[in-house]
Each structure stands twice: as structure tokens, then as C-alpha cells.
Amino acid sequence: MAYTKTSLEGKLILVTGAGTGIGKGVALELARQGADVAINYHGSVEGAMEVVEQIKGMGRRAIALQGDLGVVADCQRIVDEAAAFLGGLDGLFNNAGITLTLEIQDVKEEQFDKIYNINVRGQYFTCQRAVGYLVARGKELLRRFPDASWAGGSIVNMSSVHGMVGFHGHSVYAGTKGAINSFSRELAVELCPKHIRVNVMVPGSIEVPSYFKSDPSYTRAVGNSMVPWGRVGLPEDIGYLAAYLMSDASEFMTGHLLAIDGGLTAKMAIPYTPPAGER
């Protein structure tokens, strides 16, 4: 098969927080596009094993690596084990994270520390550990294919629309996403000389199993009603963009915050009633 920049054939990628939800959707789409994938999970062991089996069923290699990304030693170990199993790293998709919905007066110190440890420290220190492997992979590819150019390594950090706009009860969570946005843009500049691009995905309402668990009244119709585009997002929507950002086709893109939200952040909060006859 002829080489195409959009293909992930031969790519070696680690996806964190991939036992369920968005991470699962991303890992599966990367494998569909040809990548071998190491996935990290914390508590969702059954989901992680299911993802691994699905990826293997596509003819790709996969492994599940348990770990708490709120612990720096686990961040380092997971990256090391992923690179050892895959034979290197072309990309890191940092999806692992937790949320918290509380008014500021009700937030406890331990809750604050936990969400920052996982959402910010987890991404930061997996990025730190991955850099050496991404650089080494580039050197290996250039050694094996001296006449080809290396499109570079790719890091994608997951943020949220909560890091861009305000919403009740999300002061701690939004703060972590703002931190991710800022350190990722700085990292993109810092890693340009190493030929590693860093981008941030900013999802809006993406329907995952936790939606139904946290709110028994939630339905697909409710999700659809919250999004200007007319439907709630799904994990596979994130997967499609993730596949592009991990591909050589995105070589010239780094340092960007990419909202994928069905128009959510583009819409003013002022109530609006469409004129009669307008859809």
C-alpha cells in the first residue's frame, strides 16, 4: 500500500485514560487507522481489556497498562512500559482526567489536590517522560530510512471547553484545563527544535457512560438540546481528530487549542428565540 500522510500505519501511540469513554474511542480509531496502541487505565480493568481485544481483532498490537497518573512514578512507568512494548513512541494522547462539580465554598483541599494531581501533573509528567522516546524514534526512523524526512513526534493533551468559558460549579476543574492550555502552548514552542508538535483538543459535550451514571435523567435528546449543531458529541468524533493530529498530515500544526464542540464556545449565552419559520 502506498504511503499517505493521513495513514497511521506503523505508528506507535500511547493513549492514557483509555479504559472507557473518550479515551476508548480514541484508541480504537487510532488502531482502525493502522496504529499499534498502548492504553493506560486506572480502575476500568474490564473496559481496558475489551479495548485491547478489539484492537487485536483489527490486526494491531495492543497492551493495557494500569496506573494512577496522579503519581509521578506511575506516569514515568507507564510511558516506559508503553515504549518497551511498542518498540518506541511516535505519539502520546493524554486523555486521563477527572472532573469535580462543586461551588467554590464547598471545595476541600484534598479534592483540589486530587484533581490537579491527575489532570495537570499527570499530563505534565507523561509529556516529560515521552519526549526522550519521541526523539529516539525520530532518530531510528531516519537511520532506517535515510532518504525520507521525519514528520516529527506528536503530543495531544486533552482540555475542555471549561478551560475557555465559565460554568457553575467548575472552578477547580476549569482551572486544571486552563493550566493544560497554557503549559501545552509553551511546550509546543520548547519542543519545536526537537521536532515534536504539541496540540490541545478542547471537547464540548461528549456523551460518555458517566453522563448516564451521574445524572439518571440524562438522555440523548437532552444532550442534543445543549449543542448548537443539534447533536451531542460522541467519542468517535474525538477519535477522528485525534487520528489526524497523530498523522504526518498534521506536521505543520503545533501549539493550537482545537475546539471540537458543535459550536458550543462560539455561541453567546444571551437567550435567543429564532424567528417563525427558521429551523
Write down the pLDDT at residue 257.
Answer: 97
Told to judge if 160 belongs to the known catalytic residues of this protein, a careful annotator would answer: yes
- Which residue range forms the structural domain that includes residue 200? 12-260
What is the rounded distance in angstroms from the CA atom of residue 133 to the CA atom of residue 91?
Answer: 9
pLDDT score for 278: 63
Name residues of the chain where pLDDT drops below 70.
1-2, 272, 277-279
Residue 186 lies in a domain: yes
Tens of pLDDT, residues 145-172: 999 889 999 999 999 988 888 888 889 9
Which of 44, 154, 159, 205 does the annotation list as catalytic?
159
Is 210 tagged catalytic? no
Q: 268 in a domain, yes or no?
A: no
Residues 6+ apart with CB under 8 A from 41: 17, 18, 19, 20, 47, 48, 64, 65, 66
Please check whether residue 27 is in contact with residue 37, taking contact to mean a CB–CB distance below 8 angstroms. Answer: yes
Is residue 177 among the annotated active site residues? Answer: yes
Q: 179 in a domain, yes or no?
A: yes
The Cα–Cα gap between 138 and 84 comes to 16
**Residue 150, class by beta-carbon neighbours within 10 Å (0-12 exposed, 13-18 middle, 19+ buried)?**
middle
Distance in angstroms (rounded) separating the CA atoms of residues 48 and 42: 9
Q: Please give the pLDDT value at position 148.
A: 87
Question: pLDDT value at position 69?
Answer: 95
For the chain, give the longest Cα–Cα distance.
65
pLDDT of residue 212: 76
Instruction: With respect to residue 52, please indicate whether it lies within any of the assigned structural domains.
Output: yes
- Please give the tally of structural domains in the chain: 1
Phi-psi region of 99 (alpha: psi -120 to 50; beta: other; left: phi over 0): beta
**List 44, 154, 160, 250, catalytic entry:** 160
Entry pTM? 0.92
Report the CATH number at residue 254.
3.40.50.720
Q: Is 154 noted as a catalytic residue in this protein? A: no
Distance CA 90, CA 9 (A): 11
Q: What is the pLDDT of residue 2?
A: 60
Q: Quote the pLDDT of residue 109.
A: 96
Q: In this predicted structure, what is the pLDDT of residue 279?
A: 56
Which of 173, 184, 205, 250 is catalytic? The answer is: 173
Contact 165, 265 (CB under 8 A): yes
Q: Are 26 and 93 in contact (CB under 8 A)?
A: yes
| 279 found inside a domain | no
* Domain annotation covers residue 39: yes
- Per the domain annotation, does 270 fall within a domain? no
Residue 90 CB neighbour total at 10 angstroms:
26
d(CA 40, CA 19): 7
Closest residue by Cα to residue 161 from 180, 146, 142: 180
Query: Could you tell me if residue 273 is inside a domain?
Result: no
